Structure 1
């Protein structure tokens, strides 16, 4: 249900990092690492499952919106996630 703006004390602009501002050209990242980086956390930061789920809710659409600037690598093993990185120009 919508909430009146008057119920909030502070507002922030809805700005997101561009891929080249967030990722290093020579590195590949899991969606979990990207989720942390989008929140200015260390890519290896320990998170409880609920918090990680919330961060993934932000990271997955970010990856989809920025897909033209990214490339994907297959997992190296069956128990490993895929990796994303900057597409080279």
Structure 2
């Protein structure tokens, strides 16, 4: 259900990191690690599954919006996610 803006004490700009600001150019990250980084958490931080689901709701669209600035690597194992990194023009 929509809420009026007046229902909130403070409104913030929707200012998200660019891939170059968020990710180390020499590393590849899973969507789960990106989700944590977007919330300024350590990429290996332990979080409960419900919180992780919420963070993924932010990370997946972020990856889609920044797809032109990212490279993708296949999962190394069948049961693990793929990896994303900053496209460096190579």
Into which bin does the TM-score normalised by the smaller protein fall? over 0.9
- 2:83 aligned residue: 83
- 2:39 aligned residue: 39
Deviation string 1:15-35 (CA, Å, 9 cap, x unpaired) is 000000000111000000000
- Structure 2: which 5+ residue stretches go unaligned? none
1:21 partner SS: helix
- Structure 1: which 5+ residue stretches go unaligned? none
Runs of 4+ in 1 over 4 A off after TM superposition: none
Normalising to structure 2: TM-score of the pair? Answer: 0.95
The count of residues paired between Structure 1 and Structure 2 equals 89
- CA offset at residue 5 of structure 1? 1.3
- CA offset at residue 70 of structure 1? 0.3
2:3 partner SS: coil
2:84 partner SS: strand
